[in-house]
Structure 1
Amino acid sequence: MRRVSSTVVAVAGAGAERVVAGLGGLHNVRAVVAGERGAAGVTEQVAHSSATYVVHDGDPLAAVGDAWVEYFDQAAAPGGLEVAIEAALAELRSQRAVLPDYYVVLDPEEMPETRRHWWLGVLAGAAPARVVPAHATAAAVRDVLSHLTAGRWWPDDLDGWLRALPTVVPDQVGVRP
């Protein structure tokens, strides 16, 4: 998997594009609004940056998150989650996509329950310090950037972790038997 010299932060949630655009003038921050670029375009921008932080709204696991939510909300066709997982793994292996160092999740308390479980259960359960909630403003995200803490990286067995997602039940994420 590709690693870059900048700290990569993906902003997710309603208003992410607006918030990322609002960070463009900060010293040592490269703000990349995904727009029509796709994961490969965002990764290219991230890879060529020398800024301390690269902040973007191009989540490489967006399709997996959407499929996981639909799967557990019983709104998906059979196999959709598995297809999204394999597509994400292919993008990550080919280095057309890169996992961010951190996810800043905008206003998670406003999200539907299963979506909130994706962010604060599934992803935060895999790497607790790497998922940080924030209000949906550039000022709030700027404050988060100045207080990011170190923590374990995403699971070493990324394939196994992602492929196990169909068994990760929303209300039981992080609950030990």
Structure 2
Amino acid sequence: MKIKFYIATALVAGVLAACNGQSKKAEAHDHSSHEGHDHEAEAAQTSTANPVLNNEALNNVYAHYIHLKNNLVASNEAEAKTAAQAVKTALDALKDPEATKAAETSASAADLKTLRASFDALTKQVERLIKKTGVKSGEIYVEFCPMANNDKGGYWLSNNKEIQNPYYGDQMMKCGSVKETLKQ
């Protein structure tokens, strides 16, 4: 009888040990899969890094423009205002009266709603300058939301195809589509 007890105990211990080992392997596999996923996400972010333009001053404008767009997406009014001022300062260096006027309107916006309303005109000017000088490497996506600006529509530039609407933020994050890709 004692032998049966010892055998049963050994079997139960063996099964538990085996299950525990499988559980740890599964956790390790899940963890390594998760780490691989994070790495893939990082690689995806790397592939959507800022494009390089043929004009160094315009690279600066575009970097500030993307900062502005991202803060409009996030509905971060304070940072969006700061970014709009930085776009204006960077555009001043290009000495383009039309672009400077659009940037001044954005930089002087009193609130997020006004800033979003001025964003389409600013986008059109930055897009015009990019098309004029060209993209050296990478891609810029010209995206459009037909509902922005009281259904008149609104454009924005982005480093990736995923729609993140700066006109509505989280209210209508995915409203829009890619209309054009600017590249070398």
Same fold at TM > 0.5: no
Larger Cα Rg: Structure 1 or Structure 2? 2
**Greater per-residue helix proportion:** 2
> TM-score of the superposition, structure 2-length normalised?
0.28
Higher relative contact order, structure no. (Cα contacts within 8 Å, ≥ 6 residues apart): 1
| Structure 1 length-normalised TM | 0.28
